[in-house]
Structures are given as structure tokens and as C-alpha cells.
Amino acid sequence: MRFSKATNYALHTMLMLVDASTVKPVGVQQLAESQGVSPTYLSKILTRLVKAGMIESVSGVNGGYRLSRTKDDITFLDIIHAIEGTASLFECDFVHGTECSIQAVMKEAEEKMERHLQQTKLADLAQKQTQV
């Protein structure tokens, strides 16, 4: 029960991209180096963010990654969901009645956390965070 390192990398990368230009992309080489992670692995992670539509990639010389649209509405939850998936944190194979008290409690707790992550937008932290 821990957030993956991939999520950590994704969050840091996104913060860098928010502070970077929205036209000139940033190469994965640079993004990876500042986080101490291999470029190929980070690229694999970022591809998921591309597919989620929050960033876009540019191949070729001077290529890299940049934010796709208005950075203002990208939330922490968006990023986390793109990396970790959206499945419930508490899984149960059985279905004992439509109203299972345990699941209700766990799900509500999870939603409390997600609500906060959804309220916090990337733009809220931009510029506050300088370096990884």
C-alpha cells in the first residue's frame, strides 16, 4: 500500500513541464537526468500521460514532451490515475448484498483522499516548486 515510484516520477515531471514552455518541448533526457532515473524508463511512464491526453510528445530532433492544453485543469488525481489506474484500493471478490458496510467505509475513505487530490491542481504548485 504505497504509491509507486512511477507516480513520483510522473508528478515531478509534470511540475517541470508546467513551468516549462508549452511550445518548445523538453527532452526526456533532461527530465530523467534531474530525477536520477533512466530516460527509457521515464519515457515509458510519460507515454501513459500522453495517452491520458495531458501531455503531448514530439519525435525527432529537439523533440520531447510538453503540456497539451491549458495547464490549469490538470489535477494530482489525473496524474495518479493515469499511472496507478482507477481501480478501487480495497478489493473484495465477493458481493454480500448491495450494501456492504466494510466496502462502504473503505470506499468513502478513499474518496476523501481523491477529493483532495482532485481539488489540487498542478498550477497551484507551479513556480513554488523549483527543482527536483
Question: Given the rule CB under 8 A, which residues bind its own copies?
Answer: 1-4, 7-8, 11-12, 15, 76, 84, 87, 89-92, 94, 96, 100-102, 105-106, 108-110, 112-117, 120, 125, 128-129, 131-132
**Integer CA distances (angstroms), 128 to 16, 65, 122, 131, 132, in order:** 11, 21, 11, 9, 12
**Binding partner at 98 among its own copies, ligand SF4, DNA, none, C-beta below 5 to 8 Å by kind:** none
Q: Cβ(65)–Cβ(26) under 8 Å?
A: yes
* Total site size for ligand SF4, rule CB under 6 A: 9
Pair 7, 79: CB distance under 8 Å = yes
Residue 109 interacts with ligand SF4 (CB under 6 A): yes or no:
no
Phi, psi of 40 (to 5 degrees): -65, -35
Q: How far is the CB of 109 from its own copies (least distance, A)?
A: 4
**Secondary element (H or E) of residue 117:** helix 101-119
Residue 103 interacting with ligand SF4 (CB under 6 A): yes
Site for ligand SF4, rule CB under 6 A: 12, 92, 94-96, 100, 102-103, 132
